Structure 1
Amino acid sequence: MAYFVLPGRGKRVHRLAIARRIVDGTARGTRDRSAAGRARRRTRVLRRALRPSRRLQIGLGPWLRALPAQLPDPALTTVLSRLAPHVRAAYVLGRIEGLPRYEIRDQLIELGVRAPWSAIRAAEAVQVPAPRGADRFGPETLRPVRNRSVLPLAAVVVLTGGLVAAVVATGGGGPREASAHSLRLVSAAPDAWTRGARTLDAWPARGDLAGDRAFTRRAAGAWSAATGDRRAARGTARLLYAGRLDGTPLAVMRSGGLLARYTPGRLDVAAAGTDPSAPIALGGGRYLLAPWDTGPETLTGRPLAVSGGVTAPARARTGCGRGPLFHLGSRTFGDLGGPRATALAYRLPEDRPDGTGRPARLGPRGRGIWDRLACAAADPAKPVSEATASGFWSGELPYGGTSAEWVCTRLTYAAGGTGAQAALLGGEVRPTGACDPGRPVSGTWWRAPSGRWYYLAAAGHGRVPHAAGLRRSTSWNGLLVGTGTPQAPVTLTAR
């Protein structure tokens, strides 16, 4: 704390030595280890660091000789040196010490700051670069100061590389933190979403284990130890949930575009997506809602119970366990196998689908379509944030076939990018390849109840399918119906 509050001028070695000397000086005669005693000592450290006496540079040799082999990254102090002293103190109190805003205000008033809220707001607006490294500066790496005073442990522990990493990534609002190796968990204040943008960073940590530091450290340690593209970025991760689910401890964390679910002995990592409101799957049909979403409804329109931001079990009514789950606001969310619920939508053939627009709440027909389509569209390896099924043909299949509908489903992937797949929903769900949601056309070989094979094709509104590679073809009920060698390749176009 003293190191970062000190003015940024001069060499790092001198600033670090002076910081240790300040803390050493405040320790003399200090025996009170209560919260009030620590607060009084913090005030003394801040006063000396804000206005360091020149006498601190005299006889600095013992502290210079006790410096660690490696010094903290200068990137942060370079940014802090440009700030007014009281703004610098507010930054350190909030982002290093993790104090809530009201305690920062009280501390600044104790230091004689006349406009504490202005300093706090200025500190919260500061953006700092990521550190180049995360070397640790623990007691075992720092040599003791050979001086008549005794260097307290706090003076050493505060200068850790993990601290610097936390300073860079921690948001304002008094976050709670739990460190583990090179990864540090932080969480937004419970009311952060009411005071700013409704983003994923505004989700507070919920669950009955959110305050269990031992458990959250283990969760952070497991993610920090992950390898390859499953590993969290260095610095911090957001704790979104820590609680017991059916008796099993569960932690949900987010780092950048990754979402991690930790249970003892297991860590699952997947793309988090960018939707700020999509519920997070906890398991057992329960979902963690965004803090601003409080009124989910079942598919029949009845309220779905919520406790602590977690829904009562909601499960799809399909054989594969995927499909629509509940309504939330103007949207319907479903399970397509990813770590977060997918916003599902459906457009009728007469709606002239163009592949644009946001999903709207599913009606009875849309729910029926997704009850059948979800099992074919679900792919847990590629989480989907939004999925819109656009019907472009419906009717009776020829030669004694059942009623059917052809749909083109546009998928927005949580990791970025989109895709679209067509499917013919008849007696069975038959995937029929890629499609263009704006100008859909698709075809497939189909076996009639008589046992004969036919090639069927359909196109979107105002377009007619044409197939090359068939012996002959005709139009029937809006379909192209052709004959030829079963399963032979066919070149399909639409005009």
Structure 2
Amino acid sequence: MAYFVLPGRGKRVYRLAIARRIVDSTARGARDRSAAGHARRRTRVLRRALRPPRRLQIGLGPWLRALPARLPDPALTAALSRLDPHVRVAYVLRNVEGMPRYAVRDQLIELRVRDPLPVIRAAEAVEVPVPRRADRFEPALLRPVRTRSVLPLAAAVVLTAALVGALLTTEREGAREASARGLSLAAAAPDAWTRGARSLDVWPARGDLAGDRAFTRRAADAWAAAPGGRRPDSGAAQLLYAGRLDGAPLAVMRSGGRLARYASGRVDVAAIGTDPSAPIALGGGRYLLAPWDARPETFAGRRLATSGGVTDPVRPGTGCGRGPLFHLGSRTVGDLGGARAAVLGHRAPDRRPGGRDRPAVLGRTARSFWKKLACAVPAASRPVSAAMAFDFWSGTLPHGGRHADWACTRFAYADGGAAAFATLLAVESRATGACDVQRPVSGTWWRAPSGRWYYLAAAGRGLVPHAEGVRRPVTRDRLLVAGGAPGTPVTPTAR
């Protein structure tokens, strides 16, 4: 399980050695043979496999020497590596571990996935190649990790325990000292962005409290004292904003790829990505713009008022609070729930997949499409930096149905990686699983106005949808319509 969940990079031998090392590291609670003990250990394994610390790559010799004679088929792990990490976890739990849906949902909640059901649906829609051989390993076939005398190992354990104790003491003292000193907080020169390359490093500090050292020091100290997983990437941070937002003081700081918002004595930390120009959400519908960006425009063609680089309140015109926000130069940005506005893109149904998609201002039709789509796609579990929606099928649904669109939306995440999801936009819009932007195809069970159920599948231009396990399929204009038992799992393909 740990092997399949680990990020898909590096050689198989190292992935498998790290996976076994992760499992070995959770052996302290292995004596608890109860179901609760097993569940706690599984959660620890999954957390470490999702974000493996770099230190696991050091001293791998014993685990490399204990590798089995036969390694897993690389086809499955290569396919899984392209998935969103939490979708990969759901796939492994459902298809490798054979866990029921409710148990997968509970496990994802333990891993702090806010909305697990869309993640499970995406995992269930994933198509991966069938391995040429079984990928399970029986414990009896695994070679022991300890290949040397127990005495040196025991001595090493005692020494390691002593060193760990000393390090923990030092770390606690260092943390107290850092908290007392506070985080080193700096700001770029007001005109730094006019010289050299444009990046987040040259954003100046803005806001009427940027010069209030007492307030910015409290903000920096609060971030330095945050729990380990939310601390700054280094001992220094960049002040981007300090001011009053709706009368309440707010500070926004950046360290590497992390952004921290300090307000009311609380620090919220999120991934920020590397886009040098994406607006930063301050809260209350206001956004901090890059210093070189032109004044934003509303969709009515009017200038969106700004003051000190901060926009007036603007919110998506949707019921779910996600969707297009405003035009910014040659781009349209929207709120998809992250710390920064995401660049939105759209392809019309008559465009073939392939080629590069460049940011462009969305027209009225594309904005209307995104307003419907933003509330229908699964809520992102990670901050999104860009989203491209490909409207790969558009037409009238059969048997009295109304006009509908089928979209494949690719999300690029701020912390790296990407994922694509299909969505049927109809009277009742729904997510229909993962999709391939280059060869889009997706299917779902659909209830006609007459009350009868049909299986629908659509494919992109130049492709024909196919589905196994349905009755009397008929395909016309790239839309497959078939009968069958509603809810039966069907995997559509495109030819």
Q: Once the 2 structures are TM-superposed, how far is the Cα of residue 196 of structure 1 from its aligned partner?
A: 1.3
In the other structure, the counterpart of 1:443 is: 443
The residue type paired with residue 441 of structure 1 is V
SS of 1:366's equivalent? helix
In the other structure, the counterpart of 2:415 is: 415
Pairing 1:373–2:373 present: yes
Q: Structure 2: how far apart are the matches of 1:298 and 1:311? A: 11
* Root-mean-square deviation over aligned CA pairs: 2.0
In the other structure, the counterpart of 1:392 is: 392
In the other structure, the counterpart of 2:208 is: 208
1:267-416 correspondence to structure 2 within 5 Å? 267-354=267-354, 356-377=356-377, 379=379, 381-416=381-416
In the other structure, the counterpart of 1:482 is: 482
1:445-464 correspondence to structure 2 within 5 Å? 445-464=445-464
SS of 1:326's equivalent? strand
Asked if 2 retains the 8 angstrom alpha-carbon contact of 1:294 and 1:306, the reply is: no
1:94-113 correspondence to structure 2 within 5 Å? none
Q: Using CA pairs below 8 Å that are at least 6 residues apart, which structure has the higher relative contact order?
A: 2
Q: Once the 2 structures are TM-superposed, how far is the Cα of residue 233 of structure 1 from its aligned partner?
A: 2.4
1:9-45 deviation per Cα after TM superposition (whole angstroms, max 9, x unaligned)? xxxxxxxxxxxxxxxxxxxxxxxxxxxxxxxxxxxxx
The residue type paired with residue 261 of structure 2 is R
Asked if 2 retains the 8 angstrom alpha-carbon contact of 1:359 and 1:388, the reply is: no
1:65-119 deviation per Cα after TM superposition (whole angstroms, max 9, x unaligned)? xxxxxxxxxxxxxxxxxxxxxxxxxxxxxxxxxxxxxxxxxxxxxxxxxxxxxxx
Q: Structure 2: how far apart are the matches of 1:134 and 1:467? A: 58
Q: Once the 2 structures are TM-superposed, how far is the Cα of residue 299 of structure 1 from its aligned partner?
A: 1.3
The residue type paired with residue 336 of structure 2 is L
SS of 1:350's equivalent? coil
Q: Structure 1: how far apart are the matches of 2:474 and 2:290? A: 53
Q: Structure 2: how far apart are the matches of 1:330 and 1:432? A: 31
Asked if 2 retains the 8 angstrom alpha-carbon contact of 1:390 and 1:409, the reply is: yes
Question: CA, structure 1 residues 135+475, in 2 after alignment: closer, same or farther (shift >3 Å)?
Answer: closer
Q: Once the 2 structures are TM-superposed, how far is the Cα of residue 381 of structure 1 from its aligned partner?
A: 3.6
Superposed structure 1 runs of 4+ greater than 6 Å apart: 133-137
1:148-182 deviation per Cα after TM superposition (whole angstroms, max 9, x unaligned)? xxxxxxxxxxxxx98xxxxxxxxxxxxxxxx9735
1:307-366 deviation per Cα after TM superposition (whole angstroms, max 9, x unaligned)? 100011111110111110100011000111111001011110111133732321111111
Q: Structure 1: how far apart are the matches of 2:380 and 2:401? A: 33
Question: CA, structure 1 residues 254+134, in 2 after alignment: closer, same or farther (shift >3 Å)?
Answer: farther
- Structure 1, 228-237 or 342-351: larger mean CA deviation: 228-237
Q: Which runs of 5+ in 2 are unaligned?
A: 1-169
Q: Structure 1: how far apart are the matches of 2:464 and 2:428? A: 25
Asked if 2 retains the 8 angstrom alpha-carbon contact of 1:376 and 1:429, the reply is: yes
Question: CA, structure 1 residues 298+320, in 2 after alignment: closer, same or farther (shift >3 Å)?
Answer: same
Q: Once the 2 structures are TM-superposed, how far is the Cα of residue 301 of structure 1 from its aligned partner?
A: 1.5
The residue type paired with residue 301 of structure 2 is G
Question: CA, structure 1 residues 135+471, in 2 after alignment: closer, same or farther (shift >3 Å)?
Answer: closer
The residue type paired with residue 424 of structure 2 is L
SS of 1:298's equivalent? coil
Q: Structure 2: how far apart are the matches of 1:434 and 1:277? A: 29
SS of 2:222's equivalent? helix
Question: CA, structure 1 residues 355+286, in 2 after alignment: closer, same or farther (shift >3 Å)?
Answer: farther
Asked if 2 retains the 8 angstrom alpha-carbon contact of 1:193 and 1:203, the reply is: yes
Q: Structure 1: how far apart are the matches of 2:378 and 2:424? A: 16
Q: Once the 2 structures are TM-superposed, how far is the Cα of residue 399 of structure 1 from its aligned partner?
A: 0.5
Question: CA, structure 1 residues 355+369, in 2 after alignment: closer, same or farther (shift >3 Å)?
Answer: farther
Asked if 1 retains the 8 angstrom alpha-carbon contact of 2:376 and 2:431, the reply is: yes
Q: Once the 2 structures are TM-superposed, how far is the Cα of residue 376 of structure 1 from its aligned partner?
A: 2.9
SS of 2:350's equivalent? helix
1:256-275 deviation per Cα after TM superposition (whole angstroms, max 9, x unaligned)? 11111110232111100111
Q: Structure 2: how far apart are the matches of 1:379 and 1:490? A: 24
Q: Structure 2: how far apart are the matches of 1:363 and 1:437? A: 21
How many residue pairs match? The answer is: 324
Q: Structure 2: how far apart are the matches of 1:193 and 1:136? A: 39
SS of 1:214's equivalent? helix
In the other structure, the counterpart of 1:426 is: 426
Q: Structure 1: how far apart are the matches of 2:483 and 2:413? A: 37
Question: CA, structure 1 residues 191+307, in 2 after alignment: closer, same or farther (shift >3 Å)?
Answer: same
Asked if 2 retains the 8 angstrom alpha-carbon contact of 1:294 and 1:309, the reply is: no
Q: Structure 1: how far apart are the matches of 2:355 and 2:312? A: 33
Asked if 2 retains the 8 angstrom alpha-carbon contact of 1:322 and 1:378, the reply is: no
1:460-485 deviation per Cα after TM superposition (whole angstroms, max 9, x unaligned)? 11110110011220013430001111
TM-score by length of 2: 0.63
Q: Structure 1: how far apart are the matches of 2:375 and 2:452? A: 28
The residue type paired with residue 405 of structure 2 is E
Q: Once the 2 structures are TM-superposed, how far is the Cα of residue 229 of structure 1 from its aligned partner?
A: 2.1
1:47-75 deviation per Cα after TM superposition (whole angstroms, max 9, x unaligned)? xxxxxxxxxxxxxxxxxxxxxxxxxxxxx
Q: Structure 1: how far apart are the matches of 2:312 and 2:204? A: 20
Q: Structure 2: how far apart are the matches of 1:397 and 1:370? A: 20
SS of 1:431's equivalent? strand
Q: Structure 2: how far apart are the matches of 1:356 and 1:322? A: 25
For the pair shown, the structure with the greater C-alpha radius of gyration is 1
Asked if 1 retains the 8 angstrom alpha-carbon contact of 2:377 and 2:431, the reply is: no
1:107-148 deviation per Cα after TM superposition (whole angstroms, max 9, x unaligned)? xxxxxxxxxxxxxxxxxxxxxxxxxx99999xxxxxxxxxxx
1:67-82 correspondence to structure 2 within 5 Å? none
1:278-315 deviation per Cα after TM superposition (whole angstroms, max 9, x unaligned)? 00001111100000013200012211111100011111
Question: CA, structure 1 residues 230+376, in 2 after alignment: closer, same or farther (shift >3 Å)?
Answer: farther
SS of 1:349's equivalent? coil
1:91-130 correspondence to structure 2 within 5 Å? none
Pairing 1:241–2:251 present: no
SS of 2:223's equivalent? helix
SS of 2:369's equivalent? helix
Q: Structure 2: how far apart are the matches of 1:329 and 1:278? A: 11
- Structure 1, 431-440 or 474-483: larger mean CA deviation: 474-483
Asked if 1 retains the 8 angstrom alpha-carbon contact of 2:182 and 2:217, the reply is: no
Q: Structure 2: how far apart are the matches of 1:378 and 1:467? A: 24
